[in-house]
């Protein structure tokens, strides 16, 4: 029952996980934001052709480790590793998450919705397309866009990357549109020490509270 939700959340946020989000003075995914900043300023000129080749004809079978090994010792390898490190925080089942995800709790902004191939494709296409998507890619890779919006502007976004989940949330709480998800649970989000973590708290509550 919705009337019981406030009590459920009150008990829930006493747990260490939620207290960690509430009391964090830093953005909860600050290390991802730092990696993303490096990604957006990376000089891709030397290996732009390899990225375009991947985009134009994605491999049917893709293993990120093999892709890395094929390019070891090159400038492209360093860029691939940067992307891999970002994916390890974007996706709860990203490649090499135990080593590349810098957080002890291996937190991620998304459950395993995308494949490593999809994430790689999107990071390539996004940088090649001057950090924007349009047309077919815009509709197909909405999960990636939700992740990017959250990384770039966490104060206005939640780390919920499933379009279906967002729709269900809007229906349940009778919201006008997805942008209103960030307004949920104001009595609890007002507790966060860093305003960038409001969306993190909201997402954690939505995925763990029995609503």
Task: Render pLDDT for 17-36 as a digit per residue (tens, 0 to 9).
Answer: 999 999 999 999 999 999 99
Both 118 and 206 in one domain: the answer is no
- Statement to judge: residues 36 and 120 lie in one domain: yes
Tell me if 140 is assigned to some domain.
no
Confidence of residue 45 (pLDDT cuts 50, 70, 90): very high
Q: What is the pLDDT of residue 160?
A: 95
Q: Are residues 169 and 98 in the same domain?
A: no
Q: How many other C-beta atoms are found inside a 10 Å radius of the C-beta of residue 204?
A: 22
Q: Are residues 87 and 23 in the same domain?
A: no
Check whether residue 68 and residue 119 sit in a common domain: yes
Given a cut of 70, is residue 123 above it in pLDDT?
A: yes
111, 129, 147 — which closes off a domain? 129
Percent of the residues in the chain that have a pLDDT greater than 90, as a whole number = 87
Q: Is residue 80 included in any domain, yes or no? A: yes
* One domain for residues 17 and 35: no
Same domain membership, residue 19 and residue 37: no
Query: Which of residues 129, 148, 177 is at a domain's end?
Result: 129
Specify whether 42 is located in the same domain as 14: no
* Structural domain count of the chain: 2
Q: Which of 74, 73, 54 is nearest to 64 (CA)?
A: 54
User: Are residue 101 and residue 123 in the same domain, yes or no?
Assistant: yes
User: Within 13 Å, how many C-alpha atoms sit on residue 148's CB side?
Assistant: 16
Contact 44, 82 (CB under 8 A): no
Name the token pair of 184. Answer: 């949920």
Residues 41 and 25 in one domain: no
- Residue 15 scores a pLDDT above 50: yes
> Is 142 part of any domain?
no
pLDDT tens readout for residues 47-88: 999 999 999 999 999 999 999 999 999 999 999 999 999 999
Rounded to the nearest 5°, which phi and psi values hold at 91?
A: -125, 130
pLDDT in tens, 140-175: 899 999 999 999 999 999 999 999 999 999 999 999
Please indicate, yes or no, if residue 138 is contained in any of the structural domains: no
Model pTM score? 0.93
Segments forming the whole domain that contains residue 117: 31-129
């Amino acid at each position: 029952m919705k009337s019981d939700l406030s009590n459920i959340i009150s008990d829930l946020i006493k747990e260490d996980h939620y207290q960690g989000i509430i009391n964090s003075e830093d953005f909860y995914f600050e290390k991802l934001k730092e990696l993303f900043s490096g990604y957006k300023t990376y000089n891709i000129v030397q290996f732009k052709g390899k990225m375009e080749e991947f985009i134009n004809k994605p491999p049917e079978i893709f293993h990120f480790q093999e892709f890395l090994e094929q390019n070891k010792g090159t400038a492209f390898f360093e860029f691939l590793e940067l992307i891999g490190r970002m994916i390890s925080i974007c996706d709860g089942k990203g490649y090499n998450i135990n080593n590349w995800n810098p957080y002890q709790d291996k937190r991620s902004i998304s459950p395993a919705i995308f494949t490593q191939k999809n994430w790689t494709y999107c990071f390539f296409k996004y940088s090649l397309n001057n950090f924007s998507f349009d047309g077919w890619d815009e509709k197909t890779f909405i999960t990636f866009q939700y992740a990017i919006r959250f990384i770039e502007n966490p104060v206005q976004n939640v780390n919920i990357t499933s379009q279906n989940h967002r729709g269900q949330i809007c229906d349940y709480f009778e919201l006008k549109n997805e942008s209103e998800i960030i307004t949920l649970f104001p009595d609890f989000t007002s507790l966060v020490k860093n305003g960038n973590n409001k969306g993190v708290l909201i997402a954690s509550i939505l995925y763990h509270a029995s609503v």
